[in-house]
């Protein structure tokens, strides 16, 4: 994968900063809410041991961001980039979560637009994997203008396999 060299990304609503080890406590205070994970294949991520593994994987990916509410100046979630095996022209955006109090309030769209804009400076396509049972995230993909790929694929989550829809955004069709 091309190296992204993460930089701070921001708009009027959110600021994304590269994930650091010191962010664990603040991020876990959000991720410890089981409601965040109830429609996710790794539904136990609210437990500290499962979240610690998730967090450490995010740190080692070198593609993870902390999402800040710019107005409140507090951490509200996380997301990251991931390479696609054998493809240097595509990047995945995933492992995203927001505090429940930020759901449905334009924050998801705001931070994903920043990440997509940044990714499309280096890659031709951005992919998202969404579990077939996660209707909320599927609607979010539609709101972003992503195209669903059929049929559903599978994605390996440590210890689990799940059926997913693959959504993509192409540089030539990105409208935001």
Q: What is the pLDDT of residues 21-59, one digit of tens each?
A: 999 999 999 999 999 998 777 889 999 999 999 999 999
Q: Give residue-wise pLDDT tens across range 120-152.
A: 999 999 999 888 878 888 888 988 889 998 656
Rounded Cα distance, 107 and 95, in Å: 15
Q: Is the pLDDT of residue 74 over 90?
A: yes
Q: What's the fold here for domain 9-127? A: Aminopeptidase (3.40.630)
Greatest extent of the chain over all pairs of C-alpha atoms, in Å? 41
pLDDT, tens digit, 9 for 90 and up, residues 94-118: 999 999 999 988 999 999 999 999 9
Please state the domain extents for the chain. 9-127
Q: Whole-model pTM above 0.85? A: yes
Residue 84 preceded by cis peptide, ω within 30: no
């Amino acid at each position: 994968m091309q190296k992204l060299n993460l930089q701070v990304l921001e708009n009027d609503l959110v600021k994304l900063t590269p994930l650091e080890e010191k962010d664990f406590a603040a991020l876990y205070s959000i991720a410890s809410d089981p409601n965040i994970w109830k429609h996710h294949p790794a539904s136990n991520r609210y437990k500290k041991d499962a979240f610690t593994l998730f967090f450490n994987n995010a740190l080692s990916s070198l593609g993870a961001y902390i999402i800040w509410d710019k107005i409140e100046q507090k951490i509200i979630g996380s997301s990251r980039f991931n390479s696609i095996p054998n493809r240097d022209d595509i990047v995945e955006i995933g492992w995203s979560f927001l505090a429940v109090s930020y759901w449905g309030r334009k924050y998801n769209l705001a931070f994903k637009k920043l990440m997509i804009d940044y990714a499309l400076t280096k890659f031709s396509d951005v992919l998202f994997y969404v579990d077939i049972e996660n209707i909320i995230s599927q609607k979010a993909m539609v709101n972003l203008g992503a195209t669903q790929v059929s049929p559903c694929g599978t994605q390996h989550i440590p210890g689990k396999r799940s059926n997913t829809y693959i959504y993509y955004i192409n540089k030539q069709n990105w409208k935001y």
